[in-house]
Amino acid sequence: MTAVRQGYAHDSTLHKVQEQPEQHKVFTIRDGFIYTKNRRGDEVLCLPRALYNKRSIIELI
């Protein structure tokens, strides 16, 4: 899960959310993780577009 937190710095959108959360009201940051709500209203973890061991984090999950 450390790779997810560190990956936010390499994701252009989620990095902005992390830097200025007050500007992005649809996101919540908790314990270093970024969350949003899906269409059903369920809270979901945002995964960064970043690599872990040369593979996409999204692909690994």
pLDDT bracket for residue 21 (50, 70, 90): very high
Give the per-residue pLDDT at 61: 82
pLDDT digits (tens, 9 = 90+) for 22-47: 999 999 999 999 999 999 999 999 99
Closest CA to 5 of 35, 27, 36: 35
CA distance 60 to 45: 14
* Sign of the four-CA dihedral 36, 38, 41, 47: negative
CA distance 37 to 19: 19
Q: Whole-model pTM?
A: 0.87
